Amino acid sequence: MLMLRATGLFLVVLGIIWALQGLGLLGWPAGSFMLGEREWALYGGLLVAVGAVILWGVSRRTRR
């Protein structure tokens, strides 16, 4: 369970970073090919969604 929770959290954080870079709101690292590219905002949003589903699934399994 701990590994799934860590994976879900990692995917959410990474997805947020990708989305912010794709939207041009996060300019780090300066030479990144993802900066201002809208497709990376989409990929980041999808990654956040996958991570959130994993976290939701883990929380449902631990409540039982």
Q: How far apart are CA 41 and CA 27, in angstroms?
A: 13
pLDDT tens-digit map of 5-60: 999 999 999 999 999 999 999 998 999 999 999 999 999 999 999 999 999 999 99
Range of the domain at 23: 2-63
Q: Do 50 and 9 touch, CB atoms closer than 8 A?
A: no
Domains identified in the chain, total number: 1
Q: Which DSSP symbol is given to 27? A: -
Q: How many CB atoms lie within 10 A of CB 60?
A: 9
Paired tokens of 51: 């991570």
Give this prediction's pTM.
0.91
Identify the burial level of 47 via C-beta atoms within 10 angstroms of its C-beta, where 0-12 means exposed, 13-18 middle and 19 or more buried: buried
